[in-house]
Structure 1
């Protein structure tokens, strides 16, 4: 006996005496892709003092009618009926069939999936689906069948592309779409969506992104995405599944499919917030990886992560902190609680921290412009254990980090000298530059053995150094008082200067020119017998004005006003003075305040009492110290060589005494009594 079942435009014959197969339940009607019960709104969410406007998915209930029923076991039973629903049950399974789906063993499901995997053509796949009872096609089986279907289609399309047959594999001769394929896809997607497990839904969405035959692909994606949104809003997705859904949503361009923009990654933030207790050390990196994909809800998810980091930071894996900082940088976010927690972890886990992990952490902290005592302590511990000496890249990164933040760490600097002596010849030019600049920046006097190594490095690898790096190395040697004269002569040749300026990156040419003049002037002032008879090779750049820090300019004027009131008339007080040749015209050699006794003489007369008052800003000192950095020490030395009595004034001290003129004057006088005397030219 046959039962004729009409379904919209097509007719399907179903044999009632046998179990209904999967293909016998397929409907050839159109696929309903859009959910009419989903809408979007925004809410105001307060988190402490922060109030954010966040998107939210809502389900409309205007079509629900409550009908009281007296047929139930209880008098209070209520039957809810949906009117005007756009959904239909296409699985063709009765209530008994649906109950049987839950009773199918894993072994039977595995056997069916293995059978689907052995199909070598779409015809074989459809034939196998025709023999499978509908109650045995679970969400996992439907996902496997869909994956195999798309895989076979893609393989056939690829073969046709190679053979030159551009005709689509799923197009009939008349150009119409194969309705069998569409109906099978509709049924498979329906089975997956109606399943309780969310993993097949996410897997199906990922599989559809690989489809080359794009018929109705947006419809399938919309249906799946809508289902994922509902499940995330109801808290039925795990943290890992929400992160996977956000990444999938960001890969799809669904703006044209949904005018209201319902399918957007930002709408899934509620799935993270509602399951924040499930964030652990094992999956927290996965949550951080979605931050660059979010826009409106980015800070809301970051707030959730800040709270969880404080609870699980000690359980983080060795590779997690570096990845967390990397995702923060990609998302253009700064979070002091998270960064401080990571530095705390680095300090407490320095014994198990891997070399590459610490290098990545320091590099990220440089980009985030963050330093604290915890990361400094971690560097000290690693240097004390000899890790920096054993791993030169770590020593180079530690040197860059310390120089950037002005952290004068004796242990780290000792490791730097050891690395240069032991491994200097094998290091690339960039690492040599970082290591030498750290020693010069902190004016750290290295052992004598390092200069022999540096001479050999510059001799053998001179051509490998980029122009700016070789100039930084020469400047470092000048600050430390041991310049390689022979290497310097190789730079100041017409051929090398032309090559250096031509090969330099755009925007760095002026910087290279200023460094060339600085090295040239330094050699002329400090080693006149060895360098062009004490005359600079390059001409002195004359400029209308040089930029001066506003803080220095303001304090310098105040100092000049007070000194003019108390000094005799024979003294002359000027601000922003540039010494003459051989010193270059630049910010480093600018004198903030000059006091001259008697008539002004230019160029300077060494017998004349001329004082140079230099105002040192906080960034001119090492961090949390009164020790001046190397470039400022070079500035003092050069001014003393051209005949100045140099006086150093602390900007912070002058600022505190701003409203106390008497204390201000007493401080300046006390510092003038401690002035550095001029140095002989051949000191």
Structure 2
């Protein structure tokens, strides 16, 4: 990282300490321009606030920083003098010191005990302050031979002295403990302690744990403007202590991210670098916490997500069901997967198939497959077997999540009785399920070429239909009725009344755009004897994308309203061109998802030749201005059209 400092000419005349150590490279420092300051807001005139520019690769960011003003160049090497800490004796005896002060019955006893101390150490001062606070909070009457004004003056003077002792100590933990106390007595002094800790951060005198603790305190109390403006100045401390960041504490730095604003990106870059260094050492619980933060800050980084994928693949064998459920759910919410994640889940499912007990885990894995359209036969077969073996104990509310992915992903489980057993169980639990789940499940049957007649009969009963008021569900039932009427002669339909008000179906904007761009190419291919029409919705069917044809190639004298498209003499004379978007395919980019497979099948049943064009291929050829290649691709696709 390069540091670019902006200072006014007046401040530039003073020596400025930039880092706590003296190893800051001059090659990384550049003085430019002019910058406004907020010295008038500072109580400590030994420091000044300004901003710097951080350059990391092609990214440049302006960040706040605190800079020490030195009166003598010697201070740069010597630093500030602090009272040495007494961790070996005083800190260990703190509870004894505290117990001694708790025996003081009033302020006079506290003052007397302080005067007996040969040296007031920070912990003695802290114990005395705590006892003064306790006495202030009690209703114990004051000693009669001391006037209230005298007590107040003495208390104020002694308190000031005690606070000076504490603030000069090298034991920063003592100051951090004071900041965390709820003492009303100390509340007016907390800003001074805050400044002192910040100054020590700038002087590079804190450990990484202390910096984390202080930053968490600031974040937890960010309603105070003083603390709020200090938070984003802490990045300097983290950069200085980056060599102390390891697999045991990186999660604590990630937990700080939600409280950061301007410095968030800088800390993220640092953590990304560290994550790539020792990802394989990170414990499971730590990675769970890191993923929580990713979700909380809406984090997206393919570099870090790929590292998580590698970690997941490496640690899949040590994950129990609850942990796998947690991680796979978070990855799904983060909208990330890769080959490593998929293969790791596949290994887990194959090795643990007979041991899986949680239906919630099965649902989470199926949700993962649905979101990323992963048609992994091994994963889906294990889920299918679990469903069949445990169908009677799986709650009705989970059945849609267990069944629908099979049809949607165009997958038939190995179990031959799968669909029959599923339908029987659905009939048994019919009254416990809602219409939305039941209609989606029925549609998933049809996607795969299975026909749940018993289930549909229950759905289409007049008594049940009167309970449905949701238009989306009614549209889905219309689609089920139409699909069964087209696909099977055993279905005595259509059973539902036709919707005579055909609602328009909007063609995807991406498809519209690419068709407009390649319209001339289409015209040159079909010739003068044929005509093309874009965005044709077949009449006399339900309003659904299934019956929307992206491009119809038809004779010129066919008519504008397509009233005779069902005529037998028109069989194979109409060509339906469908432009398949990337999300119309499973993750293998070859297999169409269930709704698109049904779309192709229905158009074939209706006597049309069906041509499938890949949107990605069309876009690539058009972008490359490859007109010959574009024409060849479309022409070959039309010539190889699937006849009805």
TM-score (structure 2 length as normaliser) = 0.80
Are residue 307 (structure 1) and residue 289 (structure 2) matched? no
Q: Gaps spanning 5+ residues in structure 2: where?
A: 1-41, 141-146
Report the equivalent of 1:587: 545
The residue matched to 1:626 in structure 2 has which SS? coil
Q: Tell me how far apart the structure 2 counterparts of residues 344 and 513 of structure 1 sit (CA, whole Å).
A: 45
Q: 2:122 aligns with which of 127, 136, 139?
A: 139
Report the equivalent of 2:616: 652
Q: Deviations over 1:242-284 (max 9, x none)?
A: 122112112325655x5xx885211111111100111111111
How far apart are 1:541 and its partner, in Å?
5.2
Check the 8 A contact 1:440/1:477 in 2, yes or no.
yes
How far apart are 1:44 and its partner, in Å?
1.0
How far apart are 1:563 and its partner, in Å?
4.8
How far apart are 1:412 and its partner, in Å?
0.8
Q: Gaps spanning 5+ residues in structure 1: where?
A: 1-32, 67-75, 83-88, 90-97, 161-172, 502-508, 679-683
Instruction: Output the aligned Cα RMSD.
Output: 3.9
Task: State how 1:478-627 maps to structure 2 within 5 Å.
Answer: 478-492=446-460, 501=469, 511-527=472-488, 529-530=490-491, 533-537=493-497, 539=499, 542-543=502-503, 545-557=504-516, 561-567=520-526, 571-582=530-541, 584-597=542-555, 599-600=558-559, 602-603=563-564, 604-608=566-570, 609-627=573-591
Are residue 402 (structure 1) and residue 369 (structure 2) matched? yes
Task: State how 1:672-683 maps to structure 2 within 5 Å.
Answer: 672-678=638-644
Q: Deviations over 1:124-149 (max 9, x none)?
A: 68735632544565334444555566
Check the 8 A contact 2:613/2:634 in 1, yes or no.
yes
Task: State how 1:242-641 maps to structure 2 within 5 Å.
Answer: 242-253=211-222, 258=226, 263-386=229-352, 390=356, 391-429=358-396, 431-446=398-413, 447-492=415-460, 501=469, 511-527=472-488, 529-530=490-491, 533-537=493-497, 539=499, 542-543=502-503, 545-557=504-516, 561-567=520-526, 571-582=530-541, 584-597=542-555, 599-600=558-559, 602-603=563-564, 604-608=566-570, 609-641=573-605
Q: Tell me how far apart the structure 2 counterparts of residues 396 and 327 of structure 1 sit (CA, whole Å).
A: 24
Q: Tell me how far apart the structure 1 counterparts of residues 344 and 334 of structure 2 sit (CA, whole Å).
A: 18
Report the equivalent of 1:45: 54
Q: Deviations over 1:78-106 (max 9, x none)?
A: 9x999xxxxxx9xxxxxxxx789678456
Q: Tell me how far apart the structure 1 counterparts of residues 44 and 627 of structure 2 sit (CA, whole Å).
A: 77
Task: Give the paired residue count.
Answer: 586
Distance 1:277 1:252, change over 3 A: same
Report the equivalent of 1:30: none
Check the 8 A contact 1:383/1:389 in 2, yes or no.
no
The residue matched to 1:625 in structure 2 has which SS? coil
Q: Deviations over 1:140-168 (max 9, x none)?
A: 444455556667777x69xx9xxxxxxxx
Q: Tell me how far apart the structure 2 counterparts of residues 147 and 513 of structure 1 sit (CA, whole Å).
A: 70
The residue matched to 2:319 in structure 1 has which SS? coil
The residue matched to 2:551 in structure 1 has which SS? strand
Distance 1:513 1:278, change over 3 A: farther
Check the 8 A contact 1:291/1:298 in 2, yes or no.
yes
Check the 8 A contact 1:645/1:677 in 2, yes or no.
yes
Q: Tell me how far apart the structure 2 counterparts of residues 280 and 344 of structure 1 sit (CA, whole Å).
A: 18
Distance 1:427 1:99, change over 3 A: closer
Q: Tell me how far apart the structure 1 counterparts of residues 231 and 84 of structure 2 sit (CA, whole Å).
A: 35
The residue matched to 1:426 in structure 2 has which SS? coil
Q: Deviations over 1:333-384 (max 9, x none)?
A: 3222221111111111211133333333332323332222221221122122
Q: Return 603-612 or 341-350, whichever deviates more.
A: 603-612
Q: Tell me how far apart the structure 1 counterparts of residues 394 and 631 of structure 2 sit (CA, whole Å).
A: 52
Q: Tell me how far apart the structure 1 counterparts of residues 368 and 129 of structure 2 sit (CA, whole Å).
A: 53
How far apart are 1:492 and its partner, in Å?
4.5
Check the 8 A contact 1:441/1:630 in 2, yes or no.
yes
Distance 1:640 1:490, change over 3 A: same
Check the 8 A contact 1:347/1:378 in 2, yes or no.
yes
Task: State how 1:657-676 maps to structure 2 within 5 Å.
Answer: 657-658=621-622, 659=625, 663-676=629-642
How far apart are 1:496 and its partner, in Å?
5.3
Distance 1:153 1:634, change over 3 A: farther
The residue matched to 1:296 in structure 2 has which SS? coil
